Structures are given as C-alpha cells and as structure tokens.
Structure 1
Amino acid sequence: MSETTNANQLVITRTFNAPRELVFKCWTEPEHLLNWWGPAGMNLEVASLDLRPGGVFHYSMKSPEGFQMWGKFVYGEITPPEKLVFTNSFSDEEANTVRAPFSPVFPLEIMNTLTFEEQDGKTVLTMRGGPVNPTEEEAAFFASMAESMQQGFGGTFGQLDEYLAKLA
C-alpha cells in the first residue's frame, strides 16, 4: 500500500488480488460491505444503500463495548467498475450530517474519489480524499490526522483483502 498526503488530501493506493468488478461490488453492495467496511473490531449494520448519484449509504458501526457511531456516503459519480465518487460524513440515526464523535474540528464532509484499475487480474485501487469546504482549523486538523487515517484505512483495506480471499 502506498500513501501520500498533502495538506488537503489523503491518497492511498493498494493492490487487491481480485478482479476489479468484484472489488467494485465490494464497495457498492450491502452484502459485501457488511463483511469488511469500517475499523477493525467494529460491527457494521447497513441501514440503507441507494447506489445512484444523490443516493445514500447509511450505516452504523458498533464497538465490542457497545459504543455506536453512524455514518453515511452520499454518492456522486458512479462508473462501474472504474470509478466511485462519494462524500463521507458522520451522521445520526436519521442520516443527518453531524460532527465526528471524537473532535469538534474534524471536517463535516470528506469527498472521496476511488478509481479501480485492472492489472493482470488484480485491482489497483486509488483513493483520494479531502475535506469539503473546510475552515482553516478543520483543514489543519485533517492534515494532523493523516498518519492515523492511513493506519485506519490500512486496517480496513486489510479486512477487504481477507474478505476477497474468502470469495476466491
């Protein structure tokens, strides 16, 4: 996995040992997302998934101790199996955008662009993410979280690796 960060964007590239159609489905179908999305150790529940521009993937994550967080993707561009663009945010149970439970200055919304490239039967996924219209304080906090976010996505993508291996 390669990672780069500038002040406003986190870029992670990872190669998965699976065809890109399958990797794309793992990002866009609830029965797949249930098996890998989110931090390690969290239990994901899908409230709804409407895969269309303007549609929402609304989900909750629960820790083993019972702490529950809600999140959502609002889809922009969807070009199967090549590209997926969505805005990610924390939410409440009704899918209203809310502040992150861990910081009042984490950006409200993160725009993510995922590209899926087929390479010898494998998939090279590149994820570019950055805050949407952040304040100076939010942008600085996002930049300060780069290493933590890289580690978090490393764990999440590790779960996707394990899940894809089970499907092979």
Structure 2
Amino acid sequence: MSATQAQEFVITRVLNAPRAQVWNAWTEADRLQQWWGPKGCKLRVVTLDLRPGGLFHYAMEFQPGHAMYGRFVYREIAAPERLVYVSSFSDVQGGITRAPFEQIRDSWPPEVLNTLTLGEDGGRTMLTLRGHPLNAGEAEAKTFAGMFDSMRRGFGGTLDQLASHLANA
C-alpha cells in the first residue's frame, strides 16, 4: 500500500436519484447551499466558478454572525461523473488558512485533494468521495489519518442532508 493510499479517506453512499440530479446538487450554487456542510449550519455561497482552476468559496454559519470559510479549487470537471478539487479552510477573501479548530490548527493539512465519482445504476447513484492531503508533512498526514472516524461522521451527516435534498427536489 502506498503512503497516499494509507492516508486516503473514502466514503461511499448510494443515493436514490439519477446521476444528473446528484451532479447538479454538487455543481449549482442554489442547490449546494441547501445541503452542503454539517447539520445545523447555514451555508452561504460566496463564489462558484465551475471550471478547471475555478473557485467555490463558501461560508458556514453555525450561529448568526459567526462564519467559518472554506474553498474548493476545481482541477477536473467531467460531467456528470467526476469532479476533482482541492479543498481548504479559507479566510473571508478566499485565501487558504489553517484549520479553525484549536486542537488541530497547526497539524491539519492546508490542502486536501478530493475526487468525487458518480456511477449510475437503474436510476440510483453510487457516490464515492476520496480525499488525501496534498503536499503534507508527516505530522499533517498523521493528523489527517487520525481524523477518519470524525470525517466519516461529518461527511455522513452531510451526505444525509444531500439525500434529503434529493428526495425533496
């Protein structure tokens, strides 16, 4: 197993919606803000420029007036089956910042390379999301791998919200 495979986070989900509908939920601002992020947060799309090199910059509000920012920089877009992007925490202007959580602030990798793949079978969609640290040091890679259980819970909740959004779309 390579070092990248050892530190790769993978989550899958079968969604009861056609692939095109799932793709649109990942690539359209009005849809993303209805489901992206942890349960209980309100998402505001700052920018969504869906093209290689384009930026998705967003704010997550858990309480009014307290926003946490994130961003994707798209690397590859192959509609409706594959989306490759680098995710990071960000500041209000969209620049990369360290994680906003005290316990991992200095050891979380600043950039994570993510690959979303969508397969279709009989009107249902198999979603697979893979991520691994990009240009990370040893401590950052170790912190990332140590957070897999937490990430499964977090992304699991986010994908639950996606499933609910798709059911009501």
TM-score normalised by structure 1 residue count: 0.94
Could you tell me which amino acid in structure 1 is paired with residue 80 of structure 2? Answer: P
Deviations 1:49-69 (A, max 9, x none): 000000000000010364310
Q: How many residues align?
A: 163
* C-alpha displacement of 1:162: 0.5
Report what 2:94 is aligned to.
95
Distance 1:67 1:14 in 2: 31
Report what 2:148 is aligned to.
146
* C-alpha displacement of 1:133: 1.0
CA RMSD in angstroms comes to 1.3
Does residue 51 of structure 2 align to residue 52 of structure 1?
yes
Report what 2:126 is aligned to.
124
Name which of 104, 108, 111 aligns with 1:109. 111
Does residue 37 of structure 2 align to residue 38 of structure 1?
yes
Contact 1:42 1:61 in 2 (8 A): yes
Matched-pair identity in %? 52
Could you tell me which amino acid in structure 1 is paired with residue 151 of structure 2? Answer: M
In the TM superposition, 1:47-86 aligns within 5 A as 47-64=46-63, 66-86=65-85
Contact 1:15 1:124 in 2 (8 A): yes
Deviations 1:120-162 (A, max 9, x none): 1000011110100110000000011000000000000000011
Greater fraction helix: 2
Distance 2:153 2:65 in 1: 23
- Return 5+ residue gaps in structure 2 as ranges: none
- Which aligned segments of 4 or more residues in structure 1 are displaced greater than 3 angstroms? none
* C-alpha displacement of 1:7: 3.3
Contact 1:7 1:140 in 2 (8 A): no
* C-alpha displacement of 1:8: 1.3
Distance 2:168 2:52 in 1: 30
Contact 1:7 1:139 in 2 (8 A): no
Could you tell me which amino acid in structure 2 is paired with residue 95 of structure 1? Answer: G
